[in-house]
Chains A and B, each alone.
Chain A
């Protein structure tokens, strides 16, 4: 049957059925019932829908088993998963005539699968296996895993289907109009993952109308090694007279379906809002349409849950981050032993920001259970990083476990022409992974290019026997240290050239080995990187932050074996060692520099500028009164005009604070700036735990010369009163975020009045308004800038 379907797909576009759920409701299924159980109780209704779709021209009819998995059925207290699926499959099989095909529909469990959710991966696989067994018992011709938003759940269902049967398997993801599933997978990434894992056809259903889905098919087609599927809704839902409806009619729908077919879909049907009339119109328009053929047999590509990496000839060399490797990293070893992943996640993030496009993951260290640790780290990275992973292990069992749970298409690092080759190739083939071919044989590391070539050819031949192609292979250029073998660099460059130009396989080089034992390693590595790029290397394993170093001719001579024993280079490196860092440029006009530093939020240089001003004999009080205060006032003005946004205001305030940190201890007088050091008591009131706004006000007031006594958050009225009395503070600023705690401001003011304390209150916070403040007889400040203005007015007796 599988081959029959494949053959049919070469002849014409196969038509799929339309919506089932909405049709059932139109025909009397009440809201809130289990659709599968209702269909078993009303077999004629679902049979009639199947019949109408087939009569409308659908080649493939989906069983009404979308929610017939153990997790969904449990919600209706149904435990006979196999029975429900078998019964519904039999209804479809008995209804659909011999020229039609019945596809067993497998929908999501409604739970997210680890690492994106709580449902264990193997539990998900088992759940789908139960459903699939029922469908096969009921006589379905093929299986369709549909409406998946979680790529990991789609993988679990696909693995289950492959382990239970040899049926033709379709997989469709539900992609939102912005081009990703809700879980963040784009259609091309899903295609890379699912077709490599063994799906026979891949595509999209639901969520969007045919117009949007057309764009997804267009993107996928050039990279598809399998037929593509499109099953869109009848347009996007529209709001009409307060009701949401799908309003694309059959004719319009069919026109779009033709576009989709022209752009490469091989199987087309309808989802929500479509009817037998929609399918009939699609059938009519595609009746004589010849399907667009699949243009490639294999694809050199990797993926994660949210992105893909396609090896293309014109693509620049990509960096594989090498940071997640516990060798010589005690902290990482310790973390792996403790089964933690925070350092791993941090290293991933750093490398991603540094420009890595793939991440190498190695967890091999003494005392670490590699199989367990690798799965743990793969799960953590699948959530924390978007980059596709390179699984770096020589332990076949660990590699297999990691590949099974990895929600993408990974690259195995590595397989050599040694005794584990056959078992690792079988694992790569089963999981659809790519692998790095390490040209090392039984005799060890070959020194010459010719020996390497033999090993590469041996691995390619063995891979082919397992159904893998050259597109699944990345050859390691096997770089050795030039300090030990002056020809090592040149041998690797020749290996890379041969792989690219003659063997037509992708290549990878572990960059840093080349410079082992020599000084100025970053320079050597960067230069070797440049030479490798010229030969067209696909990937380099490196620390991305080390590659920005300037390359040099001297380094190039070492790497090409033209500098005997690297003598010239070592002498050059020795000279460099004595040179210091570049001096900072001197300030020409310190007052302007200070002013600009506050305006620009330049925290790095402001204290240096003040020192420069002091050296020129400018009095500190002059700097404060005539430079800093006008500058911070200007910042406030800009903020109110929206020329500055909050981070600019805060960065300037921080620069100002740093300036005061330097100046304050040096000033003899109590008077700073325009304002005497008036004490302001500042607190977030009792019951309230929010303090970011209060902290900003504190910073701003301090910068304007106020002495702020910040009592923190969740402060009782009694304590505030005590502090007012102790500091004889004329201004009290209170903050609250919620209406439930806002009332505690009133309590503080009531107590202050009772105790006859003479002070002004300023109120602020998300829910506090001017009206509320006025009612209490307090001042109101909407933000830090206004708080300064109000406090200055109050301090001046206004």
Chain B
């Protein structure tokens, strides 16, 4: 099972999404022009530091039982919530993405320079972009799957959701060979760089 590597994911970031992640409310937040300019400039800077990469792997589903999902090569996920989520799926799409090391270093640098405002904007921008990269990956597979009369779900499931234990992060990390895109994993199952994410999508027969 060879994961597909995306060494550079070309996303055009939706700035309003970063604002939303920072708590901006269209109806309530009152923002002065000077600070808006500063936040926008920080988002632009952060974008320049983000090196968005990803990996994905299609894995066939052998069986889905009440509390267990068994994939090809007998990869087992014990989780009732995941089993529910994948009901009817013939395969899954495993995905991982990272905003890269450089933006995290720059964020730390901003903190050390007491530029906290910029640091929190960097943090939110990197988080949004890593997350959006997963959407990009599912969009990448969608037409290909449609040709195979398969439909990929738009919802995603990740470790830590429901009863899917965080320890499964390590299995996903191995399957996706995330070290190839610069992601390492700690004994506590944290992905490093910090703004790195993984997710599972269900794939069902079309029509």
Query: In the complex, what residues of A have CB within 8 A of residue B116's CB?
Result: 650, 653-654, 695-696, 699
Given the known inter-chain contacts A21-B148, A647-B22, A695-B116, please indicate yes or no for A741 contacting B188, CB distance below 8 A.
yes
Q: Provide the main secondary structure of the chain A interface.
A: loop
Q: Which residues, 106 to 122 on A, are CB-close (under 8 Å) to B?
A: 110-112, 115-118
Interchain CB contact under 8 A, A696 and B23 = no
A556 to B23, CA, bound (A): 51
Whether A221 is near chain B, meaning CB under 8 Å from some CB there, is no
Interface-central residue, B4, B23, B24, B114, by most chain A CB under 10 Å: B23
When chains A and B are docked, how far (Å) is the Cα of A246 from the Cα of B140?
19
Q: Which of B19, B23, B160 lies in contact with A738, CB distance below 8 A? A: B160
Per-position 1/0 for B24-65, Cβ under 8 A of A: 110011111011001100101000100000000000000000
The contact of A687 among B6, B38, B186, by CB within 8 Å, is B186
Q: Answer whether A600 and B34 are a contact pair too, CB < 8 Å, given A116-B10, A647-B117.
A: yes
Bin chain B's interface residue count. Answer: 35 or more
Question: Is the pair B194, A689 in contact by a Cβ cutoff of 8 Å?
Answer: yes
In A618-657, which residues have CB < 8 Å from any B CB?
639, 641-648, 650-651, 653-654, 657
In the complex, whether B7 has a CB less than 8 A from a CB of chain A is: yes
B7-A117 in contact (CB<8A): yes
Give the docked Cα–Cα distance between A688 and B187 (Å).
10
- Chain B residues within 8 Å of A, Cβ to Cβ: 4-8, 10-12, 19, 22-25, 28-32, 34-35, 38-39, 42, 44, 48, 88, 90, 107, 111, 114-117, 119-121, 123-124, 136, 139-140, 143-144, 146-151, 160, 166-167, 186-190, 192, 194, 204-207
Which residues does chain A contribute within 8 Å of B114, judged by CB atoms? 654, 657
**Whole-angstrom CA separation of A639 from B25 in the bound complex:** 11
The answer to whether A244 and B23 touch across the interface, beta carbons within 8 angstroms, is no
Closest to A306 in B: B10
Our pick among A182, A383, A601 for the contact of B117 (Cβ within 8 Å) is A601
* Chain A residue total in the interface (Cβ 8 A): 68
Closest 10 CB pairs of A and B: A244-B151, A645-B23, A687-B188, A642-B28, A21-B147, A645-B24, A646-B22, A642-B25, A184-B10, A245-B207
Additional A-B contact list (4), CB under 8 Å, known A66-B147, A646-B120, A740-B166: A384-B48, A644-B29, A645-B23, A740-B190
Q: B23 contacts which of A110, A111, A646 (Cβ < 8 Å)?
A: A646
With a cutoff of 8 Å between Cβ atoms, the chain A residues found around residue B189 in the complex are 738, 740
Closest to B5 in A: A118
Check if B186 sits within 8 Å of A115, measured CB to CB.
no
Q: Identify which of A277-285, A345-353, A441-449 touches chain B.
A: A345-353
Inside 8 A of B167's CB, which chain A residues have their CB? 740
Q: Are B194 and A690 in contact (CB under 8 A)?
A: yes
* Residues of chain A whose beta carbon lies under 8 Å from any beta carbon of chain B: 21-22, 25, 31, 66, 110-112, 115-118, 147, 149, 174, 176, 180, 182-184, 206-207, 233, 237, 242-246, 272, 305-306, 345-346, 349, 353, 383-384, 600-602, 639, 641-648, 650-651, 653-654, 657, 687-690, 692, 695-696, 699, 738-741, 767
Question: In the bound complex, do residue B139 and residue A182 qualify as a contact, i.e. CB atoms below 8 Å apart?
Answer: yes
Distance in Å from the Cβ of B126 to the closest Cβ of chain A?
A: 11
Contacts of B90 in A (CB 8 A): 31
Task: Identify the closest chain B residue to A119 (Cβ).
Answer: B7
Asked whether A651 lies within 8 Å of B35 as measured between CB atoms, the reply is yes
Complex contact A600–B35 (CB within 8 A): yes
Check if B207 sits within 8 Å of A112, measured CB to CB. Answer: no
Residue of A nearest to B154 (CB): A239
